[in-house]
């Protein structure tokens, strides 16, 4: 089977979150299963710095707009891990400082940018190879599914080619003014409540949900959650309408990068059979954050996250005065909302013996936290899939999480031992503090803690099982279209 991925991000070239990791790792696993895969992403400024002057695969592809045409090149990003990567080159739309926005807000022409991306992938596929299925990701390429079933409806090349949409986060939908329907040369009869219209905006993600042949999300629980008002972000009704075509497939992780046995970023290697190296990683982490004289009985709690209310930072701030009274130190890495950046730095200055914060994204430090911390904290308001809790399990760093989305599906707390982490179900600071108390109490029982570490380290969350599930979805939609 030939699968074409269309996405706005792909590691290592362009990344703001877990989407990039999925679009990088899943295709490589599909290739190992015997399939052919190509990935299309924009040729952003960041990509151009990493891959300057790649060969040209297609010199000119015409993308029409109401009163003008844009002309894009398709660049050959090469083959890695058996996966062919193509870059969509349109400098006036993609040669910018950031992927989606400036500090003052989203780029105002994002509809044109990602509408062009979707159409360019379709047009390029006519020449470079028509796939058996398109796999599109989030709102940025959801329009590809809409175009296939509208503008390209009578094109015999694509008439029977299905599209699968993966929703990585339903909170980001791509809302644009009604006139966008004309910008993208779509018919006005698609701007209705049961198609693209959503509270008098054109909603890219909604269009993808309506017109894709199947929809997947990144965990089983999140597939259930987005059918409710709490998590559906206004799309719950339309998602419930497509529930028969909705599949929750838990993200896998890349154990070639996230594995303490081979990780090049950490101070010492270790495994479930030999945990000695974790003590060295612990010392290295404390040094990286400037801590001195932290005893072995003091738990290190680690956080690697975007600073946002969605990630539960309102709770972390609320419990800080109580948490610092416990026998622990807290290390936090990340950036995000300016409010939390300032607040966390202020708290670190207030409690220098207990709390340290680095406001940045640093992949090496992220690996050091996974390897050197004892507890990993993820109190997310919602978490569609989550990857850090799975990384933590592999590194013997016991997760404390809110029971939502992929966190609910991967972390198992047992009342009398036997689990791999700790969970809280309510959404309140006291529920988080109770879970941390349970974790810190268990940490003092070294035998039980070691058993819990080893249980997590021996679990397999590789991409093999999810990739087989995606193949079954692909086969289903191809059969339905044939």
- For 9-73, the three-class secondary structure string (H helix, E strand, C coil) is CECCCECCCHHHHHHHHHHHHHHHCCCEEEEEEECCHHHHHHCCCCCEEEEEEEEEECCEEEEEE
Superfamily of domain 276-457 in the CATH hierarchy: Glycogen Phosphorylase B; (3.40.50.2000)
- Of 439, 460, 339, give the one whose Cα is nearest residue 379: 439
Q: How many CB atoms lie within 10 A of CB 270?
A: 21
Alpha-carbon gap, residue 67 to 47, rounded angstroms: 30
pLDDT tens string, the chain, 482 residues long: the values are 999 999 999 988 998 878 998 999 999 999 999 999 999 999 999 999 999 999 999 999 999 999 999 999 999 999 999 999 999 999 999 999 999 988 778 999 999 999 999 999 999 999 999 999 999 999 999 999 999 999 999 999 999 999 999 999 999 999 999 999 999 999 999 999 999 999 999 999 999 999 999 999 999 999 999 999 999 999 999 999 999 999 999 999 989 889 999 999 999 999 999 999 999 999 999 999 999 989 999 999 999 998 989 899 999 999 999 999 999 999 999 988 889 999 999 999 999 999 999 998 888 999 999 999 999 999 999 999 988 999 999 999 999 999 999 999 999 998 877 799 999 998 899 999 999 999 999 999 999 999 999 999 999 999 999 999 999 999 999 999 98
- Nearby residues of 200 by Cβ (< 8 Å), 6 or more positions away: 178
Task: Tell which phi-psi region holds residue 29, choosing left (phi > 0), alpha (psi between -120 and 50) or beta.
Answer: alpha
At residue 83, the pLDDT reads 97
> Which pLDDT score is estimated for 15?
87
Residues of the chain with CATH 3.40.50.2000: 2-252+464-481, 276-457
**pTM of the predicted structure, to 2 decimals:** 0.91
Fold assignment, 2-252+464-481:
Rossmann fold (3.40.50)
Q: Report the pLDDT value the prediction gives residue 32, as an integer from 0 to 100.
A: 97
Query: What pLDDT score was predicted for residue 16?
Result: 81
């Amino acid at each position: 089977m030939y699968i074409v991925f269309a996405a706005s991000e792909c590691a290592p070239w362009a990344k703001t979150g877990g989407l990039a990791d999925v679009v990088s790792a899943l295709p490589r696993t599909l290739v190992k299963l015997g399939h052919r895969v190509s990935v299309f992403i924009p040729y952003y400024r960041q990509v151009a710095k990493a891959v300057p002057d790649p060969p040209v695969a297609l010199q000119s592809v015409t993308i029409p707009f109401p009163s003008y045409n844009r002309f894009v090149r398709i660049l050959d990003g090469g083959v890695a891990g058996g996966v062919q990567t193509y870059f969509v080159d349109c400098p006036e739309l993609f040669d910018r400082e950031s992927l989606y926005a400036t500090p003052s807000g989203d780029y105002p022409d994002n509809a044109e940018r990602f509408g062009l991306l979707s159409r360019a992938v379709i047009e390029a596929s006519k020449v470079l190879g028509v796939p058996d299925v398109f796999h599109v990701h989030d709102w940025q390429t959801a329009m590809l599914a809409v175009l296939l079933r509208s503008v390209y409806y009578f094109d015999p090349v694509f008439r029977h080619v299905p599209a699968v949409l993966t929703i990585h986060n339903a909170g980001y939908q791509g809302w644009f003014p009604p006139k966008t329907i004309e910008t993208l040369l779509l018919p006005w009869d698609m701007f209705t409540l049961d198609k693209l219209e959503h509270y008098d905006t054109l909603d890219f993600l909604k269009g993808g949900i309506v017109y894709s042949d199947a929809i997947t999300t990144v965990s089983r629980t999140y597939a259930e959650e987005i059918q409710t008002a709490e998590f559906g972000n206004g799309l719950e009704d339309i998602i419930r309408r497509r529930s028969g075509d909705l599949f929750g497939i838990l993200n896998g992780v890349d154990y070639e990068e996230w594995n303490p046995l081979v990780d090049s970023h950490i101070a010492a290697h270790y495994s479930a059979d030999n945990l000695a190296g974790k003590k060295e990683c612990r010392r290295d982490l404390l040094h990286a954050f400037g801590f001195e004289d932290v005893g072995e009985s003091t738990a290190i709690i680690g956080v690697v996250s975007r600073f946002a209310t969605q990630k539960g930072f309102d709770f972390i701030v609320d419990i800080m005065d109580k948490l610092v009274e416990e026998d622990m130190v807290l290390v936090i890495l990340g950036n995000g909302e300016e409010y939390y950046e300032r607040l966390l730095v202020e708290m670190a200055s207030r409690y220098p013996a207990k709390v340290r914060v680095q406001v940045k994204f640093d992949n090496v430090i992220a690996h050091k936290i996974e390897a050197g911390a004892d507890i990993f904290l993820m109190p997310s308001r919602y978490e569609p899939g989550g990857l850090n809790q799975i990384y933590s399990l592999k590194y013997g760093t016991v997760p404390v999480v809110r029971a939502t989305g992929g966190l609910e599906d991967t972390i198992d707390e047992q009342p009398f031992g036997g689990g791999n982490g700790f969970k809280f179900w309510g959404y309140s600071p006291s529920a988080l503090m109770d879970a941390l108390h349970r974790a810190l109490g268990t940490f003092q029982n070294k035998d039980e803690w070691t058993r819990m570490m080893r249980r997590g380290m021996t679990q397999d969350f590789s991409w093999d099982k999810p990739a087989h599930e995606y193949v079954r979805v692909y086969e289903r939609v191809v059969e339905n279209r044939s």
